[in-house]
Structure 1
Amino acid sequence: MKTDNGLYFKRNNLDRLFPFYVLINSDLIIEAYGPSMKKLHANCLKTLFTDSFKLIRPVESQVEFDTLVRLAGSLVIIKGTSGAITTSIKGQFESYDQEQKLLFIGSPWFNSIEELTITGLSINDFAHIDPTIDLLHLLKSQEIINEDLIRLVTTINEQKNKLKKGEKIILNTLEKERELNKLKTDFVTITSHEFRTPLACISSSVELIQFNNRPVINADYAQRHLTNIMSEVDHLSKLIDEILTVGQMESAGLRCKKETVNIDDIINTIIDNISAIQNDGRSVTVIRNGIPKVLLADPILLNHVLKYLIANALKYSESQKQPILTLVYRTKQLVIRVKDFGMGIPYIEQDKVFQAFFRAGNVHHIKGNGLGLFISKNIVELHGGQIRLKSTPNVSTEFSILLPLQ
């Protein structure tokens, strides 16, 4: 309460009503201070006020007791100079009872809850009637709103990321759909051409034989056309086999039945058979490096791959020096290299050669269906191996097969 001689409260009421108070005598000695002030500025009791606090507002060149008496009732700002935390406190000085004492009552001012947290104070350290409480509640509300806003922004960003992922999945699905449609179109185009050409040859040969249907038919004439028919039938048979093989791969129905195989026997048989029908009389040079080791593989599937690569090496290097097949036995790996010295593969198309139905732009004048390398790659991978390409246009092409050894 306030009397004619100044404020008067019992000390225990001061602690409750003004937790940040400071009581000083006429010698500027601090006689008492509030429990919350102790949290900010410890060990101030019995010290000079000017040693523990600095008068920030108004600025006074020299602070004496009379100076503070003169400031009674006016807004002042003091700041602690002792302790780890030096917080500014707004308040006012009042005369205390009839004694020659001054009572500073006030409270610290904060711009954020973070500033409050740094001091170690909580809202409970303030008087219930302190207007700072209202500010702190507002700041707390602002902090909650900010946290909610951050959570909202985070949620929105998460949803955006999910939408982007969903969009990516949809685009990938559409791309795969386009690729599938292209494969279907290529399949129809290529297989139609591949079937139509041999059928036309067979039909033509049959018509010529029928046209020359005389009691005595020239044996050489008939044999020539019958050979054409058998060749085209064989081509059709191979095409159908490759299409069926692709179908088995797509349905995961192609199985690898491994057994011990003699790779030299397989290669020699293939080269002998292909060389026998090679029009330009070329064969394949075989080079062997290392000590032969046991190879576990499916002989039928491995034969298919090697036969295809060797036949292609001859087909795409017509009138050039003969291809080279190199066997390299490593500690745990067999490397089979088939190299020709023909037209090569354009650089920009080399990453597509193992795709189904793909044919390089410089070989469209040569018979083929674009399935061989696709099938070969799948067979090699079925054996736990790899197939690689190295080609220089108009110089050479080399396919390397890497198979694991026991």
Structure 2
Amino acid sequence: MPLSDKEISKIFLDQSEDFILFFNEQMEIEYLSDAFEFTLDFKKENLLGKKLNEVWVNFPSLPLMKPEQKMVIPITSAVSKQKFLIEFKFRIITDLEEYPDRIFCAIGRDVTDRELALKKFKDIAFKEKELNQMKSRFVSMASHEFKTPIATIVSSINIMELLLQKEFNEEIKSRLYNHIEKITNQTSRLTDILGDVLLLEKTIQLGGGLIGQKISILKFITQLVNAMNDENFGRRHIRLFAPDKDQFILSDPTLLTHVFRNLIQNALNYSPGSVDPEVHLIYRGSFVEVMVKDYGIGIPKEDRKNIFGSFYRGSNVGNIKGTGLGLNIVWELVKKLNGEIWFESKVGLGSEFHVSLPSK
């Protein structure tokens, strides 16, 4: 006896690798293909008659299911808890004799690999776009920042050449020394900019392959503060507050030096004429916290969300020199060291920068 059309349809539906389901206008499930059991581990008999968006909460409500519309819906396996991304296409069936009301059909297929590959591609494209934007900002900043010091160097050299052709008296010597100092300062500024750019590039290239060294944090911070006090020739004194007991951490001394030297130098730069900056070493369980505090100009509220961005400088820095890269590099380095950095600040009262590092 030949198979009936109904039997053939059932065999076709049951053997299909697609996820096929029928549901009524109350969104109650009328039929499920075997793919729901074989791939997603759901027992069909447990789902029949239940509301579709109660079984899978990510399913849209009925008004959102447009005919021939495709929609990717996440479904988690009932047993393995593996997450699948199923692309469903919706259809409305109105010509069934046994069902006077409308029946809705959803036909889906597993697009998990496709969607994950697409997400990865989008992430790469976003990072590339972000990198290109950063490069553009650097070119813009560099063209502006390099122009002024180079022009100063050239004009100072020209003046020196003219002065050298005349008789050397005390006034000429004084003017020569003045221009030599300008050249020294501006070339130092160029060196700082280039150094920050190179360090930022090196930081990006480091990836996650750091090999930590055992560091005595109290000894490390004490030596760094003493060295910076010596470099200041007594003009400003950095005050250190630390426990008597030392503690060891596993970290990179070169990166740590740059992080804390930059924060301390900022505290000196942005608190001219104020109370001397402070460095506090605090032990917090399995973490070591270093807080750098100054009593300077503070950070305006509108600048705080961008303070760790590249080439960003606060709106109230005035003539205080800087490249806008320092805190961005510090933020990147702290991340490489598996640490956290945050700050608190009040305009006119000063800022506190906190760095927390794992000690175990």
Pick the TM interval, shorter chain: 0.5 to 0.7
Going from structure 1 to structure 2, the CA distance change for 1:168 and 1:258 (only over 3 Å counts) comes to: closer
Once residues 314 and 175 of structure 2 are traced to their aligned partners in structure 1, the CA distance between those partners, rounded to angstroms, is: 37
Contact 2:279 2:290 in 1 (8 A): yes
TM-score using structure 1 length: 0.55
SS at match of 1:355: coil
* Post-superposition CA distance 1:26-56 (Å, at most 9, x none): xxxxxxxxxxxxxxxxxxxxxxxxxxxxxxx
2:146 counterpart of 1:192: no
User: Cα distance, 1:364 vs. partner?
Assistant: 5.2
Distance 2:303 2:126 in 1: 19
| Pair 241,267 (structure 1): closer, same or farther in 2 beyond 3 Å | same
Name the residue aligned to 1:57.
Answer: none
Identical-residue share of aligned pairs (%)? 28
> How big is the alpha-carbon RMSD for the aligned residues of Structure 1 and Structure 2?
3.8
Q: Cα 1:143–1:250, aligned 2, differ >3 Å: closer, same or farther?
A: farther
- Alignment check: 8 A CA contact 1:385 1:401 kept: yes
Identify if the C-alpha distance between structure 1 residues 254 and 187 changes in structure 2 by more than 3 Å, giving closer, same or farther: farther
Is 1:336 matched with 2:287? Answer: no
Q: Which whole-Å CA distance do the structure 1 matches of 2:205 and 2:283 have between them? A: 34
Classify 1:397/1:300 alpha carbon distance in 2 versus 1 (closer, same or farther; 3 Å).
same
**Structure-2 separation of matches of 1:234 and 1:241:** 10
How far did residue 210 of structure 1 move?
Answer: 1.2
The answer as to 2:227 corresponding to 1:269 is yes
1:225: Cα distance to partner? 2.9
What are the superposed Cα offsets for residues 198-227 of structure 1, whole Å, 9 maximum, x if unpaired? 222322322222121046465544334323
Paired amino acid for 1:271: N
Distance 1:253 1:403, change over 3 A: closer
Instruction: Give runs of aligned pairs for residues 160-175 of structure 1, distance below 5 A.
Output: none
Letter in 2 for 1:293: Q
Say whether residues 1:312 and 2:263 are aligned partners: no
Equivalent in the alignment of 2:239: 285
Distance 1:333 1:401 in 2: 10
1:179 to partner: Cα distance: 4.4
> Which amino acid counterpart does residue 317 of structure 1 have in structure 2?
S
Distance, in Å, in 2 between the alignment partners of 1:309 and 1:286 is 14
Cα shift readout 1:223-243 (whole Å, capped 9, x = no counterpart): 343233222222222211111
Q: Is the 8 A contact 1:267 1:306 kept in 2?
A: no
Q: Deviation of residue 172 (structure 1)?
A: 7.7
- Equivalent residue number for residue 197 of structure 2: 243
Q: Letter of the aligned partner of 1:206 in structure 2?
A: I
Which of the residues 189, 196, 208 maps onto 2:159?
208
Q: Counterpart of 2:353 in 1: which secondary structure?
A: strand
Aligned ranges for residues 3-402 of structure 1 at < 5 Å? Answer: 138-139=97-98, 142=99, 146=103, 149-152=104-107, 155=108, 179-213=130-164, 214=166, 216=168, 218=170, 219-252=173-206, 256=210, 258-261=212-215, 262-263=219-220, 264-273=222-231, 275-276=232-233, 281-289=235-243, 291-363=245-317, 365-402=319-356
Give the 3 Å change call, closer, same or farther, for CA 144–334 of structure 1 in structure 2. Answer: same
Structure 2: distance between partners of 1:197 and 1:311:
23
Q: CA deviation at 1:309?
A: 1.0
CA deviation string 1:115-147 (max 9, x = no partner): xxxxxxxxxxxxxxxxxxxxxx942xx39982x
Instruction: Provide the rounded CA distance (Å) in 1 between the counterparts of 2:192 and 2:260.
Output: 15
- How many residues align? The count is 260
Q: Deviations over 1:157-187 (max 9, x none)?
A: x99xx99999999998887676445423321
Closer/same/farther in 2, CA of residues 265 and 195 from structure 1, 3 Å limit: same
Q: Confirm or deny: 8 A CA contact 1:290 1:329 kept in the other structure.
A: no
User: In 2, Cα distance between the equivalents of 1:304 and 1:190?
Assistant: 23
In structure 2, C-alpha distance between the alignment counterparts of 1:290 and 1:351, rounded to whole Å? 36
Structure 1 position 397, deviation (Å):
0.8
2:128 and 2:189 mapped to 1: Cα distance?
31
TM-fit CA distance, 1:257: 5.3
Is 2:224–2:261's contact at 8 Å kept on the other side of the alignment? no
What does residue 92 of structure 2 align with? none
- Structure 1: distance between partners of 2:148 and 2:186: 9
Alpha-carbon distance change, 356 to 143 in structure 1, aligned in 2, over 3 angstroms: farther
The amino acid across from 2:345 in the alignment is S
Q: What amino acid is the match of 2:148?
A: T
8 Å contact kept, 1:284–1:324: yes
Offset at 1:189? 2.3
> Within 1, Cα distance between the matches of 2:149 and 2:180?
13
- Structure 1 residues 201 and 298: alpha-carbon distance in aligned structure 2, compared to 1, 3 A threshold: farther
**What TM-score do the two structures reach when normalised by structure 2?**
0.61
| Residues 248, 254 of structure 1: 8 Å contact kept | no
Residue 191 of structure 1 and its aligned partner are, at CA, apart by: 1.7
Tell me, yes or no, if the aligned pair for 1:245 and 1:254 is still in contact at 8 Å. no
Structure 1: state its 5+ residue gaps. Answer: 1-112, 115-136
